[in-house]
A = this chain, B = another copy of it.
Amino acid sequence: MAIRALVWGENIHERKNKAVAQIYPRGMHQAIADALNAGPGIHAETATLEQPDHGITPERLAQTDVLLWWGHAAHGEVSDAVTQMVCDAVWSGMGAIFLHSAHFSKPFKRLMGAPCNLTWREAGERERVWLTTRSHPIAAGLPDHFELENEEMYGEPFGVPEPLETVFVSWFQGGEVFRSGLTWRRGAGNVFYFRPGHETYPTYHDATVQTVLRNAVTWAHNPAPRLADPSDAPNVPVTRALEPISERGPRLHPDGETGYH
């Protein structure tokens, strides 16, 4: 069965900025979804900010194996409710891939617990993406490095928690470096951040970038059944203890209480 991907896009620059609209006439989200659908094994749909609930409901997330997120101008317009929904879905096992300026999106910042800041420059300079671990599944089929002739610069320090793995590090023409491919796990969900993708350049039309996106979706997919309540903290009463014990000492919680959350 195909992996079900959902590409979330802000869909603002594409409608308001001519340069962006020319590159992505049907929106960045659609270009990304098309790239995912071009390969076997992935079925990608889209959702956008201006839709009701930003196109995101618990039911839709329950049917999503991997969510991809691109946002930039309107991070603040994403509701807290949708942000929490996304976090809950990740914790229950949905994969999540955050693209480029989504480093400052609400769901990414919430999942990282860190400032997620960086330095930046919009000058269309050359970016060269290097593999730091040659045979990582996200790097399948890639050469040791690939170039994007025009990209926005993002520079270190990148304010994220130490990753599980560093997969890519970028070189920039203007003199900076950036850890541009990083993995984490949050609850049962695999999380990947991938740096390239400024809206004024045709990055998501690049064949190597598209390979990375497809690899990342495959990697992020956790085939385990989704956890029903990923924040559940069940009480295990004495009578059901695995080793025989007797209750001792003072108690705060009467029997059957569910605890404080």
Contacts and interface: CB of A to CB of B under 8 A. Distances in A.
B187 A115 contact: yes
Contacts of A260: 72-75, 101, 104
Contacts of A114: 91, 111, 113, 186-187
A245 B123 contact: yes
B174 A170 contact: no
Interface string A218-261: 00001110010011111111100111011111111100000111
Interface string A194-208: 000011110000000
A27 interface: no
A175 interface: yes
Contacts of A130: 155-157, 176-177
A252 to B, nearest CB: 5
A253 B156 contact: no
Contact of A120 (B132, B150, B233): B233
Oligomer copy total = 4
A45 to B, nearest CB: 24
Interface stretch (A35-43, A55-63, A133-141): A133-141
Contact of A235 (B19, B119, B156, B252): B119
B179 A230 contact: no
Given A113-B87, A125-B245, A132 B179 contact: yes
Contact of A177 (B133, B170, B223): B170
A88 to B, nearest CB: 8
A211 interface: no
A71 to B, nearest CB: 9
B171 A157 contact: no
Interface in A133-190: 133-135, 137, 140, 144-145, 147, 150, 153, 155-159, 161-162, 164-166, 169-177, 179, 184-188
Closest 9 CB pairs of A and B: A124-B249, A175-B242, A135-B188, A124-B248, A19-B250, A174-B241, A113-B113, A135-B224, A175-B243
6 contacts: A120-B236, A121-B241, A132-B158, A140-B223, A171-B171, A176-B236
Given A131-B156, A171-B172, A200-B251, 5 more contacts: A75-B261, A122-B252, A123-B246, A134-B227, A174-B236
